[in-house]
Structure 1
Amino acid sequence: MSQEAAGSGSPHELKAVLFDMDGTLIDSMPLHERSWVLWHAELELPFDDPDGFFHATAGRTNVEILRDLWSDRAEAELEALAHRKEVLYREIAARELTLIAGAAEVCAQARARGLKVAVCTAAPPENIAVAFERFGFAALVDTVTSPADGLRGKPHPDIFVEAARRLGVAPENCLVFEDAPLGIEAARRAGMAAVVMTTTLPGSAFAHYPNVIDTLADYNGYTLPTHLTRKENPHA
């Protein structure tokens, strides 16, 4: 989809790029899927529709996901269950985690152009640390926002809004990269244009989001735009 297809309105200069992490910068979603399978098996729970599960939950925190499954359980129990799932993920990620093709080059491209860069993720701090240590993101990223900062998870816009505030950039000057519908919706609510990464779901899963200006399988050959056009006014 071309930038012009984003709709009417004055174009805004691109000043910041905001990346989701899992499935957007790092090729972690297959590893998360495997860890959820292991987690369900440990608890002897059925897991008959993994595709539907990931479509509905990508971008949310584990506690938010588990609270919907077991609303009657204590918060401490949900947190322990959520922690166990991430332990399983990190055991796999420490050995196998890779970048989405071209991700490092796009981050470097943003740096070379003087753009601000943020990672905006629902991942817990320990998972963020694994990726940052493995790929040296600290040298490429200005700030990280996550629910660990007391922010609500996606589709709430909080994580993106806070990143823009920290970077000193208006929402209309930010471009979000996301692989999950809940993340694209969070960007829309934040008033930000977005690029869909089809690493987790096909582009058709995002067809009705008016803030999407491009759809990518990976970053190879991708050039960041200079200006953005937003389709609609956001609403919470």
Structure 2
Amino acid sequence: MSEIGLPSGIRACLFDLDGVLTPTALVHAAAWKETFDGFLRHLEGPEFQPFDATTDYDEYVDGRPRADGVRTFLASRGIELPEGDEDDPPDHDTVHGLGNRKNIVVLEKIRQDGVKPYPGSVRYLEAVRAAGLRTAVVSSSANCRDVLVSAGIEHLLDVRIDGVVARERGLRGKPKPDTYLEAASDLGFGPGEAAVFEDALVGMDAGRAGRFGYVVGVDRTGQAEELRRHGADTVVSDLAELLGATA
């Protein structure tokens, strides 16, 4: 195990964004709650069951492309909406309309509060690059680049595979491994030479399905055992814990 906590054969690091490099998972969870609660209140009245920003977010939304998150959560409540079109206005009660409604909310929150990266993640990115490894960010978010710029870490990542790129290239979202495999390929490596860094359970599933060389679970919310069950080779609460780690 190297001084960056990875097997010696690893040549590329593939990082999820929200919850791994930046604390924006909390922003997304709050935006989903505001969006879903407003929709459910309108649909079911004041006795509706609110969206849980921890359990519902982790189970049905975290790590998934936006439309998949809408479908999966609503299905858990026995609700089915028309698909609509990707450019549906946010007041349309369609899968895409509800997703676009959430996107407006999250962008407002990011603009109001800005984004700061996790300090330990910045230290780890710098160490990885100093060790000669290539880096990529792999996110289902269509706002990935805006977040990277706001956080001041875009220059630390060689490749970006996000919701925009996935749509352009026809890549399936997590838990399918397509976006991670694409990032490794863009960096010039096979999956066995790449490590995946994820906080979402569907991201763990993607890492396992893609047969990557190493999968690091990042536990920010107390789900270490779930991350291990979904395929993490190791679990840390902060990427800086990997620095100087030995096997």
**Shorter-chain-normalised TM-score: which range?**
0.7 to 0.9
Structure 1 distance, partners of 2:84, 2:145, is: 24
Whether contact under 8 Å (2:15, 2:137) holds in the other structure is yes
Q: Among 17, 20, 25, which residue is 1:24 paired with?
A: 20
Whether contact under 8 Å (2:13, 2:133) holds in the other structure is yes
Secondary structure, counterpart of 1:123 in structure 2:
coil
Whether contact under 8 Å (2:227, 2:235) holds in the other structure is no
Which amino acid letter does the alignment assign opposite residue 53 of structure 1?
Answer: D
Counterpart residue number, 2:32:
36
Whether contact under 8 Å (1:29, 1:200) holds in the other structure is no
Q: Among 130, 144, 147, which residue is 1:128 paired with?
A: 144
Q: Among 52, 70, 82, which residue is 1:66 paired with?
A: 70
Which amino acid letter does the alignment assign opposite residue 82 of structure 1?
Answer: G
For 1:160-175, list aligned pairs within 5 A. Answer: 160-175=180-195
Structure 2 distance, partners of 1:152, 1:201, is: 28
Counterpart residue number, 2:45:
none
Q: Among 97, 104, 108, which residue is 1:87 paired with?
A: 104
Counterpart residue number, 1:194:
215
Which amino acid letter does the alignment assign opposite residue 62 of structure 2?
Answer: A
| 5+ residue gaps, structure 2 | 42-48, 86-93
Quote the offset at 1:222 in angstroms.
Answer: 2.8
Quote the offset at 1:12 in angstroms.
Answer: 5.5
Whether contact under 8 Å (2:175, 2:202) holds in the other structure is yes
Change (3 A) 1:98 1:138: closer
Which amino acid letter does the alignment assign opposite residue 64 of structure 1?
Answer: D
Counterpart residue number, 1:108:
126
Quote the offset at 1:133 in angstroms.
Answer: 1.3
Q: Among 160, 179, 197, which residue is 1:177 paired with?
A: 197
Q: Among 159, 176, 185, which residue is 1:143 paired with?
A: 159
Secondary structure, counterpart of 2:239 in structure 1:
coil
Quote the offset at 1:115 in angstroms.
Answer: 0.7
Secondary structure, counterpart of 1:220 in structure 2:
helix
Change (3 A) 1:204 1:181: same
Structure 1 distance, partners of 2:11, 2:24, is: 27
Quote the offset at 1:65 in angstroms.
Answer: 2.0
Quote the offset at 1:80 in angstroms.
Answer: 2.3
Say how many residue pairs are matched.
Answer: 216
Whether contact under 8 Å (2:62, 2:69) holds in the other structure is no
Secondary structure, counterpart of 1:102 in structure 2:
helix
Secondary structure, counterpart of 2:57 in structure 1:
helix
Change (3 A) 1:12 1:190: farther
Structure 2 distance, partners of 1:160, 1:118, is: 9
Secondary structure, counterpart of 2:13 in structure 1:
strand
Whether contact under 8 Å (1:23, 1:200) holds in the other structure is no
> Are 2:71 and 1:75 aligned?
no
Quote the offset at 1:26 in angstroms.
Answer: 0.5
Quote the offset at 1:190 in angstroms.
Answer: 0.8
TM-score normalized with structure 1 length? 0.82
Identity level (%): 26
Counterpart residue number, 2:137:
119
Change (3 A) 1:225 1:174: farther
Which amino acid letter does the alignment assign opposite residue 204 of structure 1?
Answer: E
Whether contact under 8 Å (1:180, 1:200) holds in the other structure is no
Whether contact under 8 Å (2:63, 2:139) holds in the other structure is yes
